[in-house]
Amino acid sequence: MLFSLSGHRVASDCRWSRFPSSKGGPRFNRTLIGPRKPFSACPMAAIEERQAVVIDGKACAKEIREEIAAKVEAMKSEMGKVPGLAVVLVGTRKDSETYVRNKERACTEAGIESFSSRLPEDISQEELLKVVEDYNSNDQVHGILVQLPLPKHINAELILDAISYEKDVDGFHPMNIARLALKGRSPLAVACTPQGCLELLDRHGVTIAGKRAVVFGRSNIVGMPVSLLLQQRDATVTVVHSRTPNPKEICLEADIVIAACGQAEMIQGDWLKEGAVVLDVGTNAVDDPTAKRGYRLVGDVKFSEAVQRAGMITPVPGGVGPMTIAMLLKNTLQSAQRSLMGDAI
Ligand SMILES: Nc1nc(=O)c2c([nH]1)NC[C@@H]1CN(c3ccc(C(=O)N[C@@H](CCC(=O)O)C(=O)O)cc3)C=[N+]21
C-alpha cells in the first residue's frame, strides 16, 4: 500500500481487496497516516482513527490497458488484424478535446488503430450521418464513438441510432440498453463508465450482493445503466435525482454510493454511512486561474470530508475517468474479436 502526499492511504494494487468494515475492521496506525483532522460533522470520525482507502483508478486502468494490449498483440500475430476505433468529435469543447486526445493515446498504447473525425461545430445532420455510415461500412473499424454532447441543431438520438449495433462500443444503442435491462439477456456492449464502476468494485473486493446502493443521477449514460448493473448483481438500488426530497437521508443508508449527478461537491461527508464505498463519477470543471488549463476538475462528492468517513473512495481526477477509457478499449477489442470470429449475435 502507498501513502499519498496528502496522507490518504492509496490502494496501489488494483486487486488489493482488504475492505475496512465499520466494525472490527483494521485500524490504521496514526503514525503512518499522519495526524488527522477531526471532522466536526461526524463525531464518530473523531473517535475512529480511520480514513478511506483512496482507490487508484489510474493504476487500475493502466493494468487493464496492459491486459488489453497483450490480447491485441495476440490477435495481430494470430490473425494479422488489429481492432479499430473511430471517434467522432463535433466542435471544439475543451473537455471533449481532452477526452478524445486521451482516448487516442490509450488506443495507440494498446495497439488499437485509431480513426478520428474532428468536425466543425456547424456541420449538418446529414453530413454527420454520412460520417457515421462510412464508419459503419468500414471493416477496419470495430467501434464507433460519437462524443457527446452534440451541438443543439443536431438530433443526438438520431445520430446514436445510426451507429450500427455491433459497433456501438459506448453501449448507448437502444438495443444494447434494452438487452441490459431485460433479465436473461445480455448486451453486446455495456456503457463504459458504468462498467468501469463495477470493475473498480470487483477489483477492490467489494461485495455487491445484498448491499444497499444509492445512485445519484438518472442519465442514459451513467445513472440508469449503473443502477441496472448493480441490480443485476443483487444490490438493492435507489436512484436519487433532482426531484428527490431527502437525498441525504437516503444516502446515509447506502453501503455503495455512485455519484453521477453532475453537481460539483454536492455529496458531503455527513451524507455518508461510515465505511461506505463511494465512486465519484462527477467531472465538473471549476475555474482556477492558478491551474495550467485555467480550470480544475472536482467530483460530485466533497472529497476532503468524504475521505474521513468512507471506507473506500475514488478521487477526481484519477478515479472513475481513466476506467471509462479502459472499458472503451475493452469493448472495442471484444467487438473486433466478435467480428473476426464471425460470432453469432
Ligand atoms: N459518446 C460518449 N462517450 C463517453 O464515454 C463520454 C462522452 N460521450 N461524453 C463525455 C463523457 C465524459 N467522459 C469522460 C471520460 C474520461 C474522463 C477522464 O479520463 N478523466 C480524467 C481526467 C481528464 C482531465 O484531466 O481532464 C480523470 O478523471 O482522471 C473524463 C470524462 C466520457 N464521456
User: Looking at domain 2-60+192-324, what is its CATH homologous superfamily?
Assistant: NAD(P)-binding Rossmann-like Domain (3.40.50.720)
- Work out the widest C-alpha separation in the chain, in whole angstroms: 63
Model pLDDT for residues 214-238, shown as the tens digit of each residue: 999 999 999 999 999 999 999 999 9
In the chain, which segments carry CATH 3.40.50.720? 2-60+192-324
Average pLDDT over residues 27-51: 46
Q: What is the pLDDT of residue 162?
A: 97
Range among 25-34, 92-101, 162-171, 285-294 rated most confident? 162-171
Average pLDDT over residues 272-299: 95
Whether residue 20 has pLDDT greater than 50: no
Whether residue 38 has pLDDT greater than 90: no
Q: What is the pLDDT of residue 104?
A: 94
Q: How far apart are CA 33 and CA 58, in angstroms?
A: 22
Whether residue 197 has pLDDT greater than 90: yes
Identified catalytic residue from 51, 167, 168, 170: 170
User: Does the annotation mark 195 as catalytic?
Assistant: no
- Retrieve residue 101's grid coordinates: 486526445
Average pLDDT over residues 252-267: 98
| Mean of per-residue pLDDT scores for the chain | 89
Instruction: Tell the residue number behind the cell numbers 467531472, with chain if given.
Output: 283
Q: What is the pLDDT of residue 84?
A: 98
pLDDT band at residue 10 under the 50/70/90 scheme: low
CB contact at 8 A, 147 and 99: yes
Q: What is the pLDDT of residue 142?
A: 98
In the chain, which segments carry CATH 3.40.50.10860? 84-183
Cβ 223 under 6 angstroms from ligand 1: no
Q: What is the pLDDT of residue 26?
A: 40
pLDDT band at residue 293 under the 50/70/90 scheme: confident
Q: What is the pLDDT of residue 73?
A: 98
Q: What is the pLDDT of residue 19?
A: 41
Whether residue 48 has pLDDT greater than 70: no
Query: Strand 312-313 and strand 295-298: pairing?
Result: unpaired
Average pLDDT over residues 190-196: 98
Please tell me the CATH code under which domain 84-183 is placed: 3.40.50.10860
Question: Which atom of ligand 1 approaches the CA of 149 most closely?
Answer: 9
Counts of helices then strands in the chain (DSSP H, E): 12, 13
Cβ 316 under 6 angstroms from ligand 1: yes
Best mutation site among 55, 283, 313, 323 for ligand 1, i.e. most ligand atoms within 8 A of its Cβ?
283
Whether residue 3 has pLDDT greater than 60: no
Q: What is the pLDDT of residue 330?
A: 98
CA R_g for the chain = 21
